[in-house]
Amino acid sequence: MMSEPRFFALIIGTEILNRRRKDAHFDFVTKALADKGHKLTASFTIEDDPALIIQTIKFIASQENAVLFSFGGIGSTPDDHTRRCASIALREGEMVTHEEAKHIIVETLGEKAYPYSVRMAELPKGATLLENPVNKMPAFALDERYYFMPGFPEMSHPMVEKILTKLIPNKR
């Protein structure tokens, strides 16, 4: 891992900005990092706008030693743009069907995986999977430093804890 990572949170969801849902990620990430002796460099809460998502990911990726925790927009609804936006920002738009993700989705949902949920297996080239402890629908990472997780805290927060345990040594 790089020396002295700089941590960024990207919280994607119009429903958070218009107050239909309360953000739970900022406080969680701040505390989880502090518990490991690190701090959050910046946090962005943005609407479900593809151009804004792409530009925000590109900006974060341009920062030295950036590690991104992105929450939201990886599901199968029409406003879930994050998979494609991450691909555009970090992989020149190259998307592939991640066969392991497809297998997990179909194995878990059966026929209900079609026609929409199976699209969650369309990921940026080179993506690795993050295990979802709640509903098994995988999240993904790129380059072991950009982590894209569901917007639901009960799914994403255990993922963050696992990532921090695996990748980030304790400072204390």
Distance, first Cα to last Cα, the chain: 18
Locus of tokens 């992105």:
70
Residues 143-153: pLDDT tens digits?
999 999 999 99
Counting residues of the chain whose pLDDT is more than 90, the rounded percentage is 87
Question: Which pLDDT score, from 0 to 100, does residue 166 have?
Answer: 85
- Please give the C-alpha separations between residue 82 and each of 16, 51, 61, 89, 140, in angstroms, as whole numbers: 16, 10, 15, 10, 11
Distance of CA 101 to the CA centre of its chain: 15
Number of Cβ atoms within 10 Å of the Cβ of 8:
23
Residues 50-106: pLDDT tens digits?
999 999 999 999 999 999 999 999 999 888 999 999 999 999 999 999 999 999 999
The CA-based diameter of the chain, rounded to the nearest angstrom, is 48
Contact 60/11 with Cβ under 8 angstroms?
no
Predicted model pTM: 0.95
- Residues 6 or more apart from 5 whose CB is under 8 A from it? 38, 65, 66, 67, 145, 168
Question: Which pLDDT score, from 0 to 100, does residue 168 have?
Answer: 73
| Residues in a beta bridge with 96 | 123
